[in-house]
Structure 1
Amino acid sequence: MESSQLIPQRIAIGYHPFLVDAPQEAEQIARFLQGRGVQQVISAPMPDKAFRQQIRDGKFDLLIALGGDGTMLRAGHLGAQLGIPVLGINLGRFGFLMEVQRDEWRELLPRLLDGRYRLENRMMLRAEHLRGEQSLGCWSVLNEVVVCRGQFVRPVRLKASVDGYALATYIADGLIVATPTGSTAYALAVGGPILPPDLRNILIVAVAPHLSLDRAIILSEGSVVTVTVHTSHQAVMSVDGQAPITMEDGDAVRVDALPEMVRFVRFQDYGYFYRNLTAYMEQNPAAEDLS
């Protein structure tokens, strides 16, 4: 069901930098919006520093992500910082997070400009890399943080604790700490449960555990998860599929919920999640390359 929302007047369109037709599609969308009275519209590749800085400066009240799920993740991180809603238009193959397909935006954008949409809040996590008492970095997480083996094909020993109390020790390829959004990403691929996107829970799933706890664990949003690495070979951490960060023996990753949320623009009713999930599983676009 739609609800009446603010009508955006300053719209930024961020597109995937390596999709050949993305700049042209972004320009067509920009002209469409301008032709319907939107005061300010810009478009640029999502990684462009000047583009991102304008958004951080609060110059826009809506961000359109043009690409696939990776582009949507980057847009979500950017929009969450200032509470700017994000609308995804799919130019990729999968696009599970995206709301609008390539051939639908001319039909659906007028509803945006009439305020006939709703906002869906998505939980985010904070992941902090610790070496003893020293913090080596802190990241926001929309899908998942993964602590796993590096280039050597050997499992690592990972000790997980919740709120300072020991939970389990895993001998595994890795451990995933995910949001409900991330429950349909890497966590789903390794057999984790599917969580509705509007929940506020933390999910822990092991990757290829060997004689270790092989059941996923769902925690409340107030929990603090710490994953400590014990290994004689390389281990790494990765946030939302980004470049891996090397971890040493004894390093830890501390994960808890962020107060900030990502706000996705939705035109579909609340049952869309399960309809889309069933459709993607029955006709997985990623399997096309294997035929």
Structure 2
Amino acid sequence: MSAHFRSIALIGKYQSPDVAESVFAIANYLRQRGLVVWIEQGTASSVGGAGDFAVATYEEIGAQAELAVVVGGDGTMLNSARRLAEHEVPLVGVNLGRLGFLTDVARSEALERLGEIVDGRYREESRFMLDTEVLRSGQRVFHTPALNDVVVNKGDLGRMIEFDLLIDGEFVYTQRSDGMIISTPTGSTAYALSSNGPILHPGVDGIALVPLCPHALTARPVTLPDSCRIEIVLLPPHDARIHFDGQARFDARAGDCVKITRSPLAVRLLHPEGYSYYAMLREKLHWSATPRHN
């Protein structure tokens, strides 16, 4: 069977002892299949070099690779997704992390499943992203996409912050809390879930607003259409910190406006045949597990 993908980049979690073995095992397997293989520059540095494989930057991967295999956990996948989304390179994840909501190929089955994907036997899924800009006195001072979530929180303060929430230009409420999580369906099983937010199926075109420890007990998570424009205006005297996918961050000042909309970018995820979102939830969240008895 001819290969569906002919040029593949490997991206691994940095500073992980398990990555080198898995990356080179996958690289050698793909080379034996007659494919062009690149190892991402930072990955090569962290595993002590790329051997006789070519090294590529994210920009080169975006321009030339037909598929990127991410070896690590969800954090590694999030970083890769944010950096490659504008290039529309499809991603497949091999899980070396703990949960693996996004990296759903088990390490023990990696070669077999990747072989099937290379042959064109896979399920493709599109995950939308958020576009965030921070406005200060009406001028943009920061801008970035996020796949999981945008988190506005109190940073190093030992007290709550206060902010106005506006949706499509309409004032909704003033909230005093530790902050707010603005989550995509992809991020609904991450930080938002631990804060009692709803699980959103990836097919739902919605954005979840999840308050963090609100002072008013009536403040509850709300799911909005993805067409909404969400604005959070920080009220004096409180500054705040904004996190994007738990990786990038920006220190905002009182008076800043955090504006969040659906991004025109989307992430292409490839899953093995037979992949089930519900089976993934059942496994990762231990649904249907037999209760423990003391």
- TM-score, normalised relative to structure 2: 0.89
Shift of residue 234, structure 1, vs aligned partner? 3.5
C-alpha change, 1:149 and 1:47, in structure 2 (3 Å) is: farther
- Corresponding residue of 2:291: none
Q: In structure 2, what residue type is equivalent to 1:118?
A: R
**Unaligned 5+ residue runs, structure 1?**
1-5, 284-291
Following the alignment from structure 1 to structure 2, what is the Cα–Cα distance between the partners of residues 173 and 212?
Answer: 13
Instruction: Work out whether 1:96 is the aligned partner of 2:93.
Output: no
* 1:15-70 C-alpha deviation (Å, 9 max, x unpaired): 011111212211110110111121x10113359795212123x1111011110000
Alignment of 1:257 onto 2:262: yes
Alpha-carbon RMSD across the aligned residues, in angstroms, is 2.0
Shift in Å, 1:180:
0.6
What does 1:69-80 align with in structure 2 at a 5 Å threshold? 69-80=74-85
1:43 matches 2:39:
yes
Superposition deviation, residue 78 in structure 1: 2.4
CA distance, structure 1, for counterparts of residue 157 and residue 24 of structure 2: 45
Contact 1:8 1:113 in 2 (8 A): yes
Report the Cα distance in structure 1 between the residues aligned to 2:102 and 2:128, rounded to whole angstroms: 14
Change (3 A) 1:129 1:46: farther
Instruction: Determine the structure 1 residue equivalent to 2:184.
Output: 179
Whether contact under 8 Å (1:168, 1:213) holds in the other structure is: no
Relative to structure 1, is the Cα distance of residues 121 and 46 closer, same or farther in structure 2, using a 3 angstrom cutoff? farther
- The more displaced of 127-136 and 41-50 is 41-50
2: distance between equivalents of 1:46 and 1:198? 32
Q: 1:187 to 1:46 in 2, by over 3 A?
A: farther
Per the TM alignment, residue 232 of structure 1 is displaced from its structure 2 partner at its CA by 2.2
Q: Is the 8 A contact 1:46 1:75 kept in 2?
A: no
Write the distance in 2 (CA, Å) between the matches of 1:150 and 1:113: 44
SS at match of 2:284: helix
Aligned residues: 276
**1:218 has 2:223 as partner:** yes
Which residue of 2 is the match for residue 279 of structure 1? Answer: 283
TM superposition score normalised by structure 1: 0.90
| Contact 1:64–1:88 (Cα < 8 Å) also in 2 | yes
Partner of 1:156 in structure 2?
161
Q: Which runs of 5+ in 2 are unaligned?
A: 46-54, 288-294
Q: d(CA) in 2 for partners of 1:14 and 1:34? A: 16
Q: Does the 8 Å contact 1:46/1:71 carry over to 2?
A: no
Q: Pick one of 94, 106, 110 that aligns with 2:111.
A: 106
SS in 2 for 1:97: coil
Helix, strand or coil for the counterpart of 2:285?
helix
- Maintained 8 Å contact 1:226/1:254: yes
1:57-86 CA-to-partner distances (Å, cap 9, x unmatched) read x11110111100000101211231111100
Q: CA deviation at 1:94?
A: 1.7
1:112-123 aligned within 5 A = 112-123=117-128
CA distance in 2, matches of 1:52, 1:86: 13
Q: Does 1:188 align with 2:188?
A: no
Is the counterpart of residue 7 in structure 1 residue 13 in structure 2? Answer: no
> Does the CA-based 8 Å contact 2:58-2:84 persist in structure 1?
no
Q: Are residues 1:32 and 2:36 paired?
A: no
Please give the per-residue CA displacement for 1:104-130, whole angstroms capped at 9, x wherever unaligned.
112211211210112100010100011
Contact 2:166–2:231 (CA<8 Å) still a contact in 1?
A: yes
Q: Which amino acid aligns with 2:100?
A: G
